[in-house]
Structure 1
Amino acid sequence: MNEIVEETVFIPQVSYTNQIHRQSHNNQHLKEFILWFVLLICLLLLAGPFAHHLSYSVPTVKTRTSARHIFSEERALDYLSNLTQYGSRVSNTRGNFDARDYLILQIKRICSMNKRHIQCELDLQNFTNYKHNQLQNILVRVSNTTNKFQNIPSLMLSAHYDSVEFSSGAADDGSGIVILLELLSNLINDLTINFSNVHLIILFTNAEETRLEGSKAFIANHRWRFNVRHFLNVDSSNCNEVANLLRTTSSQLVIDYSRVARPRANVILQKIPRWLRFRSDYDIFNLSYSRLGYDFGYFLDGYTYHTSLDQLSTFKQGVIQDLGDNLAILIRNILLEHNQQINDINDADPLIYFDILSRYLMIYKLSTSILIQKILIILIIIIGIIRIIFDHIYHRKQNFSCNDLHCIYFRFKYPLIIRIISIMIYSISNILSMIVGLVFSLILAWILSKTQPTSWHGNSTLAIFLFSLPCLIGFIIFRYLFDLLHRCILRKCSQKSSEYNTKHLNKIHFDFEQNISVLIIYSLLMIISIYSNSQYFYIILIWSIFICPLYLILIITEFILHWKQIFGKDFHQLYLPLLISFFPLIHTIEIVNRLLRIFIPMVTPLFSFGWILRGNLIICSIVVIPTLFFLPILQQTKQFIRLLITLLVIFFIVLIICCIRQPFTKNHPNTFYAEHISKSIYNAETSMNNSFNALLISQQSTITVNTYHGLVLSPILDQLSIKSGHKLYNKTCFSSTNCTFDDSFNRQLAVEHIQIESMKNNYSDYRIRIQHVLSYDIRISSLGYIGLTVQNQFDIPRKETIIDINVYPTISRFEIDIKIQRCDINDSPFLLLFTRLMPNIILKGEGSCKAIDDDTTLIINR
């Protein structure tokens, strides 16, 4: 009876003890997970806002009273406020000609301050654009009057002074223009530079926005082009953030650029213009491999690019000073010939370069990168094999002396096979889990393209969370399933009873197998990098050079200690990999953020051209591919369920924000383009009188509206009709983003009167006088069998066009086409109404006057 009582009392005590032990064990794991997750969040916060603050900090703005040889943002912005007062500077318009005259005046003023043996040669290069309009490039060459030698090499600085319709072009490219004007003043007033060995050329091109015609004219015809050895082109999309070095003709040139105060460059940026089909004057100057050049500009957050919001008020204070300071240092080094001599401009062994928080430019050769990766791969293979062999020999010689419960030599009959199988399972699980994570993010991108295609517009941070979280969730889910598979295999292979296995299975040491599997993943990535032989995979080395040595040290340390519990085991297995990944994480987040801030404003406007799915996939890939480098480190945590729940909660919060937020704001506007086309037909019957008038027989105006972000137009137009009180007649939507309707806004006729005179003594010759609205762009054309001469074609602008024509006697009927284009928004009542009544949608312009187009056909019957 006593024994029964004792036994009855004993059993609950054991059960209670086990329960306490399990609860304590769970509490310990919960504390480890919380600490690990808090550390991860702290690293992300440091790698995000901290890196952003350092990378995008700007210098103190120099005032107008600063010495003339020092770059001053305030003086540069004074030029800009005057330049933008002319409004749109589309080629061959009033604003364009006024801007040209202003630049000429400023160049003369700056050169007049010269009190040394410095010569300024101002030259206006005339050229004809594709519309046969007479345009001009503005050039000034600064040289030393005491140097009589010819063919002295030159450094050319270039920017374009034209803009697009309806935009004052403050950033594009007013920022480049004023920076060069201030630099010209700085260099002329710098007594350390005498321009004796290297001349300075400043080139302000026209018609860059239309087929790069100004730069083409310079390269094709100008006499100074042969002496250009170096060139720097400055172009921009928005000036609310710092500028970057986008491209160089040779990667070797970044060695010179690394000496500037705040270098901002990344080799990946070289590919962006090709990916986005972006072209500038740089592409024309780069056609000759004998010239060495740079392409600088403000390309982040270009949401107001080519819109009416491209104004001086959107500029961030200090960004002009930042680029001006950097260019001043680079230009002075070239003029003083302190730059490196480029022996191989073909980049046989190109350089990999990237800035570290805009403080230092890391530069090394591609061959060096490949060599380091090969060494790491060899070390991983050798150390991994040696560790397994020595481990096996050691414990066999000790006659199974490993009595630690964590030791696989104590728990398994065939430990070597278990180790190999475990390595394979961990490696395969990491690879497949990374693929699953990528697929999860791509599926989300596909879903968003169907439901919320612009959910990430205007917020690169939101895009990072939106697409990286599904990748992490997919990785954790699949990695957890493989962990269950691994446990199942261990149960079957263990020498102990199944009950014992279930109780102590999680205590088994598999740190080596997990560590070597991480190294295998990075080895595969490095093999891809090596065989691609590309600079653009440099980020693989950045992660590998930090992670691989750490895991190799852990493998060696574990072998030396032979599974003994050491102080700080959780630290070196869970927390140390996170701490070591801090630098690559900072760099990865910063470059991903930089790429997104370039791509998002450029990709979203392409949605109306069928880029909705492609755009989401591009943004998703920019985020997810770098995320994959971080994923293998997550396998160290065993708290898969807790981590999965946490990530799911965060993801759903981010997803809800994406669904309810308004992606288009004043700083990130929705854009549209409208073509206001009027077609008129005049008819004239010849008579015996010398002079007769043409009669208007038909007139029709249509408006075609396109949105750039996939925005459905029909309800917007209906809303406009209600607000304006005008009915939109014959509205036809060819797609959700393209609608056409008749113009009911009483648009004024562009051609007001046509008078025809028969030339005396020859009834086959006529003089036609066309009275029309004031315009800079009037084109007259006819079929080839009519001789046509515009008598006053060089009178720009004009309200009357005089044409002399000669017609074959056998022709009884002929036509003349008159095309008049304008860029003033006041010439289109519809555009005025739309911009006034729909302020949340901003008008986007083109490089030539296309939005307001009047086509007139004159038919003459003889």
Structure 2
Amino acid sequence: MPPRAPPRRRPAPAAGGPGFGDSARVLLALAALYAAMSLLAYRVIHMRHVAPLGADAPRGNFSEGRVLQHLRRLAVDIPGRQEGSPGLEAAAQYIKGELQGLAARAGPEYRIEVEETLVSGSFSMMFLRHRVTLGYRNHKNIVMRVSSNVSEDDDPSLLVNGHFDSPLGSPGAADCGSCVASMLELSRLLIDSGWVPPRPVIFLFNGAEELFLLGSHGFIKTHRWNRTIRAFINIEASGSGGTDLVCQSGPGSWPSRVYAQTAKYPMANSVAQDMFGIIPGDTDYRIFAEDITNIPGLDIIFVLGGYFYHTSYDTLENLLPGSIQARGENLFNLVKAFTNPMLLKENEISNKAAKDGIEDVGAVFFDYLTWFMVFYSRDISLILHSLPIAIFLLVPLFLKFPNITLMSWFVTLLGFMRGKTEMWNVH
């Protein structure tokens, strides 16, 4: 028998052949997709997709340009706003003068009240795992209440808070001159837009946040409007702009749900709240929602450019354009939502349920590139987040017993998710 010829080997595709070309095209497509998504994420994080409006923008719009005019006065013309310094008093008088000017030209449909108050008190708090006891006297707050001309003194109200003092050695352009300047522009917008809030809006310009939250504590303990507050928005900055992140929300899920429904540029992530406890710092949110009272609210903070935080480089020039514009447009929508009587009533129902022992376990939420938000309760999250584990455990069984129908596996999976064990025999 003649010897058997060896099998012919198929030649490998040469470089540049059909196989190589297909792989190269796939790699190029993936690289282009990765580059495009990276560029998109960079633009979103740095607020390049938000066009800031100039100081000459229509009076019915929030304008970053007008905010920067206030900020130049607070962070450039005034040399430092540390507690006890002449600069802090100059900033207080500037804020008060701007608010009084708004009150003087408001229409008859508005009721505008502006006050300068000195607060004193004492309290204890845990800071960096140590108990700190504080006593203070005569710290200055500037307060403005905007309501309709038919509102009552005890009407449920929304508090918008920001501090105008700055840390030692820092001009405090972002922290928190940008907050105060945004509140001045927002209060102007409430009057010039012609929209009359159905429930009062209280603007608290507090002058002692850097010294362990003294200004907010003094307001919430001593001011006559403190018992009317049903929700609050705290504005802060630990960076020079970028994402204006909802870092804390609560108690309960109501504040974050309102935010998810109304923010024009949603920037929120419940993971930030889970991580906030390890940060060696605090905001006035702690006073309003945790330590002193349990008012539901939001803690909204600039987080990009943290290397400027509490340094001499926290200047007007280092603010990221578009950040204040996005913040202002979000704030205006939030003010409209939090003063909606129906939503406030919903909050009262939630509070009553909590007092009756029906606990609001909170929510899981995150935004997608500031386009929209995903929001669901923590109860639902237990199911959604357990699904990958359940599928991972069931796939080997599905491969080992291919004759069992998919419906049977699905029913078994549902039983697993309910915490029950069920055996199904399929014939």
TM-score, normalised with respect to structure 1: 0.41
Q: Deviations over 1:597-620 (max 9, x none)?
A: xxxxxxxxxxxxxxxxxxxxxxxx
Matched, 1:70 2:74: no
Offset of 1:220 from its aligned partner? 1.9
**Alpha-carbon distance, 1:167 to partner:** 1.5
Find the aligned partners of 1:377 and 1:131 in 2 and give their Cα distance.
52
Quickly say closer, same or farther: Cα 1:120–1:35, change in 2 above 3 A: same
**Are the counterparts in 1 of residues 241 and 303 from structure 2 also a CA contact under 8 Å?**
no
1:260 is aligned, of 263, 269, 278, to 263
Q: Give 1:156 shift.
A: 0.8
Match of 1:191 among 186, 189, 194: 194
Shift of 1:46: 3.8
CA distance in structure 2 between the aligned counterparts of 1:92 and 1:354, rounded to whole angstroms: 41
Q: Is the 8 A contact 1:58 1:322 kept in 2?
A: no
Measure, in 1, the Cα distance between the counterparts of 2:286 and 2:226: 15
Q: 1:305-361: CA deviations, max 9, x gaps?
A: 111111111122221111100110110122243637234366634221111111001
* 8 Å Cα contact 2:287/2:293 also seen in 1: no
Point out the more displaced range, 344-353 or 288-297.
344-353
Structure 1 residue 42 displacement after superposition: 4.2
Match of 2:377 among 365, 370, 373: 365
Count of residues paired in the alignment: 383
Give the alignment of 1:558-573 within 5 angstroms.
Answer: none
Cα offset for 1:174?
A: 0.3
- AA aligned to 1:73 is E
Task: Give the Cα–Cα distance (whole angstroms) in 1 for the partners of residues 386 and 63 of structure 2.
Answer: 49
Instruction: Give 1:252 deviation, angstroms.
Output: 2.6
**Match in the other structure for 1:694:** none
Q: Give SS of 1:223's match.
A: coil
Alpha-carbon offset, residue 62 of structure 1: 2.4
The one-character-per-residue Cα deviations of 1:721-780 (angstroms, maximum 9, x if unpaired) are xxxxxxxxxxxxxxxxxxxxxxxxxxxxxxxxxxxxxxxxxxxxxxxxxxxxxxxxxxxx
* Counterpart AA for 1:60: A
Shift in Å, 1:34? 5.5
Q: d(CA) in 2 for partners of 1:223 and 1:103? A: 21
1:233 Cα deviation after fit: 0.7
1:480-559 equivalences in 2 (<5 Å): none
Task: Give a deviation string over 1:587-646, Cα, whole Å, max 9, x none.
Answer: xxxxxxxxxxxxxxxxxxxxxxxxxxxxxxxxxxxxxxxxxxxxxxxxxxxxxxxxxxxx
1:98 corresponding residue in structure 2: 90
Of 29, 45, 49, which aligns to 2:39? Answer: 49
2:144 equivalent in structure 1: 140
Task: Report the Cα distance in structure 2 between the residues aligned to 1:53 and 1:62, rounded to whole angstroms.
Answer: 18
The reply on whether 1:389 has 2:401 as its aligned counterpart is yes
Give the partner amino acid of 1:157.
Answer: V
RMSD: 3.3
Give the match for residue 185 of structure 2. 182
Judged with a 3 Å threshold, the aligned counterparts in structure 2 of structure 1 residues 336 and 344 are, in CA distance, closer, same or farther, namely: closer
CA spacing shift, 1:289–1:98, aligned 2, 3 Å: closer
* Higher mean C-alpha displacement, 286-295 vs 208-217: 286-295
> Residues 314 and 374 (structure 1 numbering): CA distance in 2 closer, same or farther, change over 3 Å?
closer
Alignment of 1:158-169 (within 5 A): 158-169=161-172
For residue 71 of structure 1, report the CA deviation from its aligned partner: 0.9
SS at 2:343 equivalent: coil
- Describe the superposition over 1:549-579 as per-residue Cα deviations: whole angstroms up to 9, x where unpaired: xxxxxxxxxxxxxxxxxxxxxxxxxxxxxxx
C-alpha change, 1:29 and 1:92, in structure 2 (3 Å) is same
In structure 1, what is the equivalent of residue 350 of structure 2?
A: 344
Matched, 1:324 2:304: no
Give secondary structure in 2 for the equivalent of 1:299.
strand
Cα gap change, 1:172 to 1:36, in 2 (>3 Å): same
Distance 1:128 1:370 in 2: 46
Aligned AA (1:248): S
Give, in whole Å, the separation in 2 of the partners of 1:150 and 1:79.
Answer: 30
Deviations 1:427-483 (A, max 9, x none): xxxxxxxxxxxxxxxxxxxxxxxxxxxxxxxxxxxxxxxxxxxxxxxxxxxxxxxxx
2:327 is paired with a residue whose SS is helix
Identity of aligned residues (%): 24
Is the 2:240–2:309 Cα contact (8 Å) retained in structure 1? no
How far off its partner does 1:299 sit?
A: 1.2
Aligned partner of 2:220 in structure 1 is: 219
CA distance in 1, matches of 2:343, 2:219: 26
Is 1:305–2:309 an aligned residue pair? Answer: yes
Distance in 1, matches of 2:35 and 2:172, equals 36
Where does structure 2 lack aligned partners over 5 or more consecutive residues?
122-133, 405-412, 420-427
Q: CA contact under 8 A between 1:86 and 1:95: conserved in structure 2?
A: yes
Matching of residues 280-679 of structure 1 within 5 Å: 280-287=283-290, 290-337=294-341, 339=343, 341-342=346-347, 343-344=349-350, 348-373=360-385, 384-390=396-402
When structure 1 is superposed on structure 2, of 154-163 and 272-281 the one drifting more is: 272-281
Aligned pairs (5 A) from 1:685-704: none
CA distance in 1, matches of 2:22, 2:309: 49
1:186 alignment partner AA: L
Where does structure 1 lack aligned partners over 5 or more consecutive residues? 394-522, 532-862
Distance 2:324 2:199 in 1: 26
- Shift of residue 118, structure 1, vs aligned partner: 2.0
**Superposition deviation, residue 88 in structure 1:** 1.2
CA distance in 2, matches of 1:373, 1:242: 26
Conserved? CA contact 2:254–2:296, under 8 Å: no
For 2:423, the equivalent position in structure 1 comes to: none
**1:118 and 2:110 matched:** yes
Aligned equivalents of 1:105, 1:314: Cα separation in 2: 27
Equivalent position SS for 1:168: coil
Residue 370 of structure 2 aligns to a residue whose secondary structure is coil
Conserved? CA contact 2:268–2:366, under 8 Å = yes
1:228 match: 229
Which residue matches 1:802? none
- Tell me, in whole angstroms, the C-alpha distance in 2 between the residues paired with 1:380 and 1:132: 58
Which protein has the bigger helix share? 1
Q: CA deviation at 1:379?
A: 5.6
Residues 400-434 of structure 1: CA deviation (Å, up to 9, x unaligned)? xxxxxxxxxxxxxxxxxxxxxxxxxxxxxxxxxxx
